[in-house]
Structure 1
Amino acid sequence: MLPDPARYDRFHQVVAGHVRDARLWRNLSQEDLAHAAGVSPRTVVALESGRSGILLDKLLAIADAMQMPLTDLVREPATEAEQPRDDAQQA
């Protein structure tokens, strides 16, 4: 069975969003993050664009540079059924 290219595209977009959000939350520029992770600024730009995959070792270096678990960068968003509901919605 061949892999679904759309699934890979969605995954790249998810990772891109997590990296960008974490970087901005930490007030880091793309260049600052690249320097801290030991990767090129071009790598960070490509990753955040969601148009490019990245080697796992580079993604791990980026997670380490932001002092966060790698799993936070690669987790898929919860589906609506998995998201916690507040009391108002349950009543």
Structure 2
Amino acid sequence: MPDDRVLARRRAIGDQIRAARLWANLTQEKVALRVDMSLASYNRIEQGHASAKLDTLIRIADAIGVPLADLVR
């Protein structure tokens, strides 16, 4: 189990992903389809309950249309 600092950062990244997705006027379903992952898996990343590999974060950023740095600041 990751320590509290890592869990907090994971939640913050999920919040950044959600904000970018909403700014782009996309649903979770639309992003999950573009990334080719299940809605449940995408939701766990956005909620901060699961950590995403760098490759997945890159695909999410591309699907939303934002730079990767915007999701991990």
State the TM-score, normalized to the length of structure 1.
0.72
* Cα distance in structure 2, aligned partners of 1:25 and 1:49: 17
Q: Which has the higher contact order (CA 8 A, sep 6+)?
A: 2
Residues 39 and 58 in structure 1, CA contact (< 8 A), matched pair in contact too: no
- Per residue, is there more helix in 1 or in 2? 2
The equivalent residue for 2:19 is 21
User: How far apart are residue 9 of structure 1 and its match?
Assistant: 0.7
Structure 1 residue runs of 4 or more that deviate by more than 2 Å after TM superposition: none
Structure 1 residue 38 displacement after superposition? 1.9
The residue aligned with 1:31 is 29
Give me the whole-angstrom Cα distance separating, in 2, the residues matched to 1:34 and 1:57: 14
Q: How many residue pairs get matched?
A: 72
SS in 2 for 1:14: helix
Q: Aligned residues: percent identity? A: 38
* Structure 1: tracts of 5 or more residues without a match: 76-91
Write the distance in 2 (CA, Å) between the matches of 1:70 and 1:7.
21
Equivalent position of 1:52 in the other structure: 50
| TM-score for the superposition, normalised by structure 2 | 0.88
TM-fit CA distance, 1:47: 0.8
* CA RMSD after TM alignment: 1.3
Correspondence list, 1:57-72, <5 A: 57-72=55-70
